[in-house]
Amino acid sequence: MSLDSDSAAVSSTSRDWYFPSPPFIHNNSNSTKFPKYPRRFPTNPRQSQHLPPDYRPPFGGVSSPNSSPPFRSVSSSTSAPHRAFNHERLRRRVDFGRRREKPQQNDVNDAIPSVSDGVSRRRSEVSSAVSGDKFLGNGFNVRWKMAFFVAIATTVFSSVVYQNFCLHIQVNELQEHISKLEFTLRAYNLSDSTELISSFGQQSDLHGKSLKRLALMVSLTLLSMPVLAFKYIDYVSRSRSSENISEEVSLNKQLAYRVDLFLSVHPYSKPLALLVATLLLIFLGGLALFGVKDDSLAECLWLSWTYVADSGNHTDSEKIGERLVSVSISFGGMLIFAMMLGLVSDAISEKFDSLRKGRSKVVEQNHTLILGWSDKLGSLLNQLAIANESLGGGIVVVMAERDKEEMELDIAKMEFNFKGTSVICRSGSPLILADLKKVSVSKARAIIILAEDGNADQSDARALRTVLSLTGVKEGLRGHIVVELSDLDNEVLVKLVGGDLVETVVAHDVIGRLMIQCARQPGLAQIWEDILGFENCEFYIKRWSQLDGMHFEDVLISYPDAIPCGIKVASLGGKIILNPDDSYVLQEGDEVLVIAEDDDTYAPAPLPMVWRGSLPKDFIVPKSAERILFCGWRRDMEDMIMVLDAFLAPSSELWMFNEVAEKEREKKLIDGGLDISRLVNITLVNREGNAVIRRHLESLPLQSFDSILILADESVEDSAIQADSRSLATLLLIRDIQAKRLPMVTHVQRGSFSQGSWIGEMQQASDKSVIISEILDPRTKNLLSMSKISDYVLSNELVSMALAMVAEDRQINDVLEELFAEEGNELQIRQADLYLREGEELSFYEVLLRARQRREVMIGYRLADAERAVINPPSKSKRRRWSVKDVFVVIAEKE
């Protein structure tokens, strides 16, 4: 059925019908769902050519010239109002897309009446027919009226049913036709949108191509800018140099200097420059790829990063432009990664180099810090290792102006066991605060400053500057400072600078006093080694509250494993009193000074029952005049002379044999502060000569000297090996001359050498006189100890022992100063006949109490047939038989 025939059929009924829109876009569940495309109608003749000739836009759209008049519609079934409602909603949704066509909507509504109007008209016709029947019924009887009424009603009902059925068929056919038209219209809309999209795509392609060209040009411009800038700088520099001859620095050199300054001053400048170069390469490479590829800018930036990170990722490139750009990016990536590898390698090498050279920080606390390097370091480390053995080991940090590897190599060559102590070496100067902080100086429990080898004044001046640096640490110092000085005159200045933090040990003064004491009392050097070293017994100070109220005489026999020898008096501000009176009563806060093996090996015990007894004889050992020889010259010779004058008896002689001229010798003594006219007990005898030349030594009466002191000569004391070689040669020459001059004896008293051997002859000569040799190198000690021809003094080792002991407990320095001083108490060796009789059986406690009658503190003994003394003997209550040839070691006042 055609559209014209349908419209004619509807017009013949003389009823207006509303033709609803098709239900293909309804929202209800019964309607058929299609995509909601915008309703568009052909507006140009080219598009109208594809439409059928009888097409008319249903909603007021622009129609073709041959379009038919508006449709006439009739009422349908009872579902028509529902359709009309749904189509009405559809009409509103479709019309809002084209606001310019709203005025035409009223014409459409006028042209197409609603279904309700047609229904109302049909009802009016039926009602008029019924009224006509009533008028005819007036002339018939009731039966005929009823029959006629039934016939008319049947005819009208049949006609209505037939018309409704026909209208249903027409409506369905029209709906199908409209659906086809809508589908055709939708196809035209899609074709129109495709054309628009294609046109928009063409415009977008043109715009994208222009952007890609612009990106390529920008990347090339940015790449060429550095080259142009360098060319311009070079041109400006040349023009300036040609115009102004007096200009010394060109612009390119200034720029190079600025870059070099930036890279040198800022620590992270190199990694930062590498990062900036990497980002620039990725950005410029991404722009270049965006100009030659069809991908987006983000994708091109990512591809640029992959080319930089891996040079093999550009193998998928097909076009020439892409290959050129990708190869350029990959080449730049290889350069950047080569620079990065160089920076990483340099950083790792620098880190390992700093570790190797000892530049890293020491993260320790409660450690012992040693500043400086000298020949005493080995002995000092050995003593500190022994002291820390009871604690399971400790930490010792050594900082010196030497290479770390050299220091570690020298320490590894030291032939002793560190007993769990770790030694950490660092390179640095103690005069620089940054280097001091590097070794955690503020957290060290003790700081030891070693004197340098060489000039004494320069060494002490450097020690003074080091103390100044230590006092300038902002964090403060937890521990105390132990300073080794070379000259006694500089001690006051160092203490003035350091204050209460500083404890000083004057090496030359200590060794000089020890040599004098050992010369007067043979065997005292070995006793000092035992007391100063941590291998045997040493000094300890501790408080014991259970001893408060006891007399010192009772305190002496209260320790089975220690020997009390002094009191630290709290009422006197912590002053240490050696060898106090027996009547002194310990007060609250007082501490006891003892000689013990370790600080945890002794404790007071109940008082034992000790028989006091009486001395066999009460007399004072008379002093006799002595003749002493000094071979060599020390810079503190004037101090040794003054100490010796205080110790010796009147009419004693001091012979000085060295290469210093007599007039110059006297001048040096006066410059050192010695007034020769004030010497009371000694007379100076000067002899000039070389101590290693035999004929010079033979001019001396070597057999007549009671003691001979071989000093490390000032001219060679900087070299320990050379000084020891000279001292050893002098010792052998003197002993040989003495053996030739002294009468032979028929019995060798010491050693296992035969009488006819030259060492045996020297041993016999050593019984007649005491020779004290100042030895600097510990290796020389072994030679002398085997030959037993000299009662030696190992100076470096004794000084190291004193430094270690003061570092462990600074209070011990007061004890050592008193024992080395001219006045006060000192270590002495006494004959046994002062305390007992031949063959008498006594315990050590009983002999100790007898020594208290002489105001002495007995600390040990040496038997007649023994080579070494026993300090702090065990089993003090055990009795034994003594001999008058035995000797006892006591602490007594200087006579």
DSSP code per residue over 245-308: TT--S-HHHHHHHHHHHHHHH-TTHHHHHHHHHHHHHHHHHHHHHHHHSSS-HHHHHHHHHHHH
Give, in order, the Cα–Cα distances in Å from 439 to each of 362, 444, 484, 522, 712.
5, 9, 20, 44, 35
Q: Tell me the C-alpha distance between 9 and 129, whole Å.
A: 24
Of the pLDDT bands very low, low, confident and very high (cuts 50, 70, 90), residue 872 is very high
Where is mean pLDDT largest: 297-306, 556-565, 615-624? 556-565
Which whole number is the average pLDDT over 715-723?
Answer: 80
3-class SS at 370?
strand
Q: Would you state the pLDDT for residue 235?
A: 67
Q: How many other C-beta atoms are found inside a 10 Å radius of the C-beta of residue 594?
A: 25
Q: For the chain, give every domain's residue range.
A: 208-229+252-357, 361-500, 538-596, 606-740+763-796, 822-894
Q: Tell me the C-alpha distance between 698 and 859, whole Å.
A: 42
- For domain 822-894, give the fold: Alpha-Beta Plaits (3.30.70)
Q: What angle do CA 33, 39, 41 make, to 5 degrees?
A: 135
Q: What is the CA radius of gyration of the chain?
A: 61
Judge: domain 208-229+252-357, CATH 3.40.50.300. Answer: no
User: From the DSSP assignment, how many helices (H) and strands (E) are in the chain?
Assistant: 27, 22
Q: Would you state the pLDDT for residue 302?
A: 87
Q: Tell me the C-alpha distance between 425 and 357, whole Å.
A: 9
- For domain 538-596, give the fold: Alpha-Beta Plaits (3.30.70)
Q: What is the pLDDT of residues 56-101, one digit of tens each?
A: 444 444 444 444 443 334 333 333 334 443 444 434 433 444 444 4
Which whole number is the average pLDDT over 811-826?
Answer: 88
Q: Would you state the pLDDT for residue 556?
A: 92
In sequence order, the 6+-apart residues with CB closer than 8 A to the CB of 886 are 832, 861, 862, 863, 864
Which whole number is the average pLDDT over 579-594?
Answer: 92
Q: Would you state the pLDDT for residue 145?
A: 64
Q: Would you state the pLDDT for residue 786?
A: 63
Q: Would you state the pLDDT for residue 752?
A: 38
Q: Is the pLDDT of residue 611 over 60?
A: yes
Residue type, 332: G
Proportion of the chain above pLDDT 70, given as a percent: 70
Q: Is the pLDDT of residue 856 over 70?
A: yes
Taking a C-beta distance cutoff of 8 angstroms, is the pair 557, 845 a contact? yes
Q: Would you state the pLDDT for residue 316?
A: 74
Q: Which residues of 52-74 are buried (b: 16+ CB within 10 A; e: fewer)?
A: eeebbbbbbbeebeeeeebbbbb
3-class SS at 470?
helix
The reply to whether 361-500 and 606-740+763-796 are identical in fold is yes
CATH number of 361-500: 3.40.50.720
In sequence order, the 6+-apart residues with CB closer than 8 A to the CB of 351 are none
Q: Is the pLDDT of residue 591 over 90?
A: yes
Q: Is the pLDDT of residue 760 over 60?
A: no
Q: Is 202 or 131 the better-scoring residue by pLDDT?
A: 202
The token duo for 319 is 């076009």
Q: Tell me the C-alpha distance between 413 and 407, whole Å.
A: 10
Out of 592-606, 618-632, 814-828, least confident range: 618-632
Of the pLDDT bands very low, low, confident and very high (cuts 50, 70, 90), residue 544 is very high
Indicate the helix (H) or strand (E) that contains 891.
strand 887-893
Of the pLDDT bands very low, low, confident and very high (cuts 50, 70, 90), residue 202 is low
- Using the structure block, give the residue that is written with the tokens 């310990």: 586
Indicate the helix (H) or strand (E) that contains 218.
helix 142-243
Average pLDDT value over all residues in the chain:
76
- For domain 606-740+763-796, give the fold: Rossmann fold (3.40.50)
Which whole number is the average pLDDT over 267-274?
Answer: 81
Where is mean pLDDT largest: 14-23, 40-49, 583-592, 739-748? 583-592
Q: Would you state the pLDDT for residue 758?
A: 42
